[in-house]
Structure 1
Amino acid sequence: MKPVKAIIKEKRLEHGLTMKELAQKVGVSEGTISRWESGEIANMRRSAMVSLSKVLDIPPETLMGWDSDTQKQDDIPLPEGVFRPTLKRVPMLGYAAAGEPLENLDGQDTYYVETDSKYRVDFCITVCGDSMINAGINDGDIVFVRRQPEVENGQVACVEIERSRVCIKRFYKTDNGVMLVSENPKYAPLQFNEANCDDFRILGLAVIKQSEIQ
């Protein structure tokens, strides 16, 4: 795999952006972009990583320096004679509110799932709050998400609001926007449209909880 610094520069040029233009889109200084591309800054802030990932269409795990979906066998010692499944590294991208949307926080944990599992997952989120309890999603649960830009009405989605807030909700398209519905009657549905939300993105489909992984 190419070094992260080379990937950033390559993607910037593919998008036809100067360092200054990229810096403006990401919300950092031009000097920061230069230091990323030179490798002088190896660990970027979570908020900058999210913005850079969107602007250049680079998966967050690539910016973390992960070179593949599978972990080398020697990194996961098992007793002699025990079957060793092929494991996929799943990044913990932060926290998601199951009540009101909560600003995303740094998360550096890594979880492992078998690559031949019936559930294809790309990242996981720790849930905060109780608004999805009737869907079996409780405060503190780790929910694994399949990255995809669209979900069907009624499915539980992981969505990002205004570039920095992430939540887990049932998703519905409406005539003039979208509606996010809780699985707890004490929380009212959240309505979003062009009038009250400048940026709304579906991160993926919530497919499984940690406790359900065999």
Structure 2
Amino acid sequence: MDKMTNKLIEMKDIIKSRRLELGLTQQELADLCHADRTTVGKWESGDIINIKRDKLQLLSKALNISHLVLLGAEEYIPCEIDEILIYDAIYGDTLGNQIAKIKNPYPDNYGQFFGIQVAHPTFINGYCFAIFNKKTKINSGDIVAVSLNGNEAMIRKLYIVDKDIVTLRPVMEEGELITLVENDIKDMNVIGKYCYAISPFLE
């Protein structure tokens, strides 16, 4: 069988496949595109095929692929389900640049995983890939990727002091202790729970 190219993959299938690769729900994708969930459902079912230019741009950014891929002008290569995408940074719900794609060393674990490249002195080349699970329960004391006010995600230990106070403590010596009180907590976006670190040499 010939390798499937983008010409044989409809936009609706690309949208759904890429959304699942990134671990996004239809509602989360809708929020990123300033649309509603039913609209995303219609994109994925093919009920809407002529997507407006502004929505196409937002969709391209949310899915972190070129709009040319969505339009069929460039090939779409789906990510294997046992692979984890690594980004240089994440800002709130916005993914940065994809810089690597690695095999999931624990493919039987349930979750939706992503990685961030972070500086780490114990690794030979001075950095590692920190892997997070997007869809898992967060408990007080967990290490998380967390974004405040849509800024670049930090890696912190999250402690729930009470319903109105949360502290974010640095995992290593560097970094400041951050205390969030009442309304400040609403600006906190916990993106995922830390699972493990991988050396880039193991890609």
Q: Give SS of 1:3's match.
A: helix
Name the residue aligned to 1:205. Answer: 193
Name the residue aligned to 1:90. Answer: 84
**One-letter amino acid of the structure 1 residue matched with residue 83 of structure 2:** R
Q: Give SS of 1:148's match.
A: coil
CA offset digits 1:65-85 (Å, max 9, x no partner): 674643xxxxxxxxxxxxxxx
1:123 matched to 2:114:
yes
Name the residue aligned to 1:157. Answer: 144
Q: 1:149 touches 1:202 (CA, 8 Å); kept in 2?
A: no
- Structure 1 segments unaligned to the other structure (5+ residues): 19-29, 51-64, 71-87
**How far apart, CA to CA, are the structure 1 residues paired with 2:14 and 2:191?**
22
**How far apart, CA to CA, are the structure 1 residues paired with 2:136 and 2:150?**
15
**How far apart, CA to CA, are the structure 1 residues paired with 2:168 and 2:148?**
11
| Cα pair distance change 1:156/1:6, threshold 3 Å | closer
Q: 1:149 touches 1:201 (CA, 8 Å); kept in 2?
A: no
Name the residue aligned to 2:44. Answer: none
Q: 2:84 touches 2:101 (CA, 8 Å); kept in 1?
A: yes
Matches within 5 A, 1:66-85: 67=78, 69-70=80-81
**How far apart, CA to CA, are the structure 1 residues paired with 2:196 and 2:174?**
24
Q: Give SS of 2:54's match.
A: helix
**How far apart, CA to CA, are the structure 1 residues paired with 2:59 and 2:99?**
12
Q: CA RMSD in A?
A: 4.5
Q: Give SS of 2:60's match.
A: coil
Matches within 5 A, 1:12-91: 15-16=37-38, 31-33=53-55, 36=56, 44-45=60-61, 48-49=62-63, 67=78, 69-70=80-81, 88-91=82-85
| Cα pair distance change 1:44/1:129, threshold 3 Å | farther
Match of 1:178 among 166, 181, 184: 166
CA offset digits 1:42-66 (Å, max 9, x no partner): 9833xx558xxxxxxxxxxxxxx67
Q: 1:104 touches 1:166 (CA, 8 Å); kept in 2?
A: no
What's the TM-score once normalised by structure 2's chain length?
Answer: 0.54
Q: 1:124 touches 1:144 (CA, 8 Å); kept in 2?
A: yes
- Once the 2 structures are TM-superposed, how far is the Cα of residue 211 of structure 1 from its aligned partner? 3.5
Matches within 5 A, 1:107-118: 107-116=98-107
Q: Give SS of 2:127's match.
A: coil
**How far apart, CA to CA, are the structure 1 residues paired with 2:118 and 2:190?**
16
Q: 1:179 touches 1:190 (CA, 8 Å); kept in 2?
A: yes
- Once the 2 structures are TM-superposed, how far is the Cα of residue 112 of structure 1 from its aligned partner? 1.3
What's the TM-score once normalised by structure 1's chain length?
Answer: 0.52
Name the residue aligned to 2:67. Answer: none
- Once the 2 structures are TM-superposed, how far is the Cα of residue 177 of structure 1 from its aligned partner? 3.1
| Cα pair distance change 1:43/1:139, threshold 3 Å | farther
Q: Give SS of 1:154's match.
A: coil
